[in-house]
Structure 1
């Protein structure tokens, strides 16, 4: 009897291999989250198949701490083929790193991922961030 095979992933094509490291203009980089990254502040990595998440950490070269996070996941509502969101550590809000992520993450997703209609969560239709409520 043949071994059972995994059902086709309804979100990521079987041929697709998620991108590795992405260098940013600030000297930081994105890379897939690994199990060892919980030691520097990342949540445990989530699966990237069977409808799971694709998690990327934002790091400096030393990777001593996670400075931000990028998450790609199946869409929660119709009208997109992926939901993408990202953030930086509180102390980096308003920084050059945050500004570079605002530009580079959408460009990277459109260039290196198999999505035709990604939704960038937390942005309105103009691409601006919604106002942050006071704390």
Structure 2
């Protein structure tokens, strides 16, 4: 049984309030924007995602990032998991990501996490994304018990939960 209804259609463009940023599914073609965003915020991202995902490694190459984005693109097409990139209007900069994944740990039917690049920390774009993501998930996704990793549960507490059955 799939983690999403067979007739679910995932959003392909999600504007942030204010009209200057949006989310869309990431693709391999975004590597040139993703790589500097990830590596420019790598230390903080490792502190967040490293213990759970082993990402992003200090030695991650451009090619490894490209392969990772291709994997994400294929997972999105197959509805196995979703990675939405945060862009400016003209898509000249990738500014963060939102991950929507099937549950790995017991107690939820979808696990959601997100990040912004270091230079947006504490700013209006991050605050807007922090407000938007839970509202968007509630409005457009078929989850009854979404879990917001690093938000409503710490990563440490999440890792301590039993595996999803």
Matches within 5 A, 1:1-135: 8=1, 10-26=2-18, 27-41=20-34, 43=65, 44-45=69-70, 46=72, 47-48=75-76, 52-124=80-152
> Aligned-pair RMSD on alpha carbons?
2.1
Q: Which runs of 4+ in 1 moved over 6 A?
A: none
| Length-normalised TM-score, structure 2 | 0.66
| Residue ranges of structure 1 left out of the alignment (5+ in a row) | 1-7, 129-135
Partner Cα distance (1:21, 1:49) in 2: 15
Shift of 1:119: 0.2
Output the TM-score relative to the length of structure 1: 0.79
Larger Rg: 1
CA distance in 1 between counterparts of 2:16 and 2:103 reads 26
Cα shift at 1:77: 1.0
Mapped to 2, the partners of 1:61 and 1:28 lie a distance apart of 5
Structure 2, gaps ≥5 residues long = 36-64, 155-165
Count of matched residue pairs: 119
How far 1:49 moved relative to its partner? Answer: 6.4
Where relative contact order (Cα < 8 A, 6+ residues apart) is larger, the structure is 2
Deviations 1:98-118 (A, max 9, x none): 001111000000100111110
Which structure is higher in helix share? 2
